Amino acid sequence: MSFVNRVAVVTGASSGIGWHLAKRLAAAGAKVGLVARRRDPLEKLAEEIANAGGVAAVAPADVGDREQNHNAIREVFDKLGPVDLLVANAGVGSPTNLDPVNITDVEQMFRVNVFGMIYAVEAVLPDMLKRGGHIAAVSSLAAYKGLPGESAYCASKAAVSTYMEGLRIHLRDKRIAVTTICPGFVKTPMTDVNEFKMPWVMEADEAARRIMGALDRRSKVFNFPWQTTLLMKLTRWLPDRMVARTMGPYNENPPFQKTPHGGAPAPRAP
């Protein structure tokens, strides 16, 4: 497909994959709506896109808030026109603690990772049902296995993947493509705190380049890189004791950082 003059909304565009994907979409000729909680990084990104000859509109919002999410996408619509492509990329992560259970962090992950995606889909779907379009969401290879210490994060990403799968089948005759994107480890501000060696980690711009290819092909599911994909799928068949032993050092000293949404500390799983 051609991205020229298409309106693309990218949530979580203030850093990481979202930042680089928005730049690549703009370079390919798309008019890009930039959605994230922090205005200043979005303004900087919009300026970079404009200086390169592209078109971008800034619409700050906490995607986990339904009203803010809808208002941001409506603002993009008003500035750029009807949305042709939605990339629901925004996400956060925190470790899953046992005693006490960090329920506030768990709720935050589901609010942003799952409901933030659903709210964005809700905002663009009525118009897409009339004129067609493309809906994509960034899940994770962590969706394929519940990892100790990352139970809630894995569950939230599994929910994203399952929701998108059902949506894809439901919309197959509606002229709306649906793509689920499942990356492995990507070097972003959120993974910079990880002290363990991340296997097959890639730069965010390289991840964005690969995602662009999947969007262009309108892939149903895009898992990458293949090495981490194979590893995660094999992990599903390992005995629990082996998974627990492998994750033991991580759970004894999990990496922490503040999430972009100002919530609890967040390590990043694949």
Helices (H) and strands (E) in the chain, counts: 9, 9
DSSP string, 178-226: EEEEEE--EESTTTTT--S--TT-EEHHHHHHHHHHHHHHT-SEEEE-H
Sign, Cα dihedral of 218, 62, 167, 203 = positive
The residue annotated as part of the active site, out of 144, 153, 163, 250, is 153
Residue bearing tokens 């005693």? 99
153 included as an active-site residue:
yes
> Does residue 62 sit in helix, strand or coil?
coil
The residue type of 136 is: A
Which residues carry out catalysis? Answer: 153
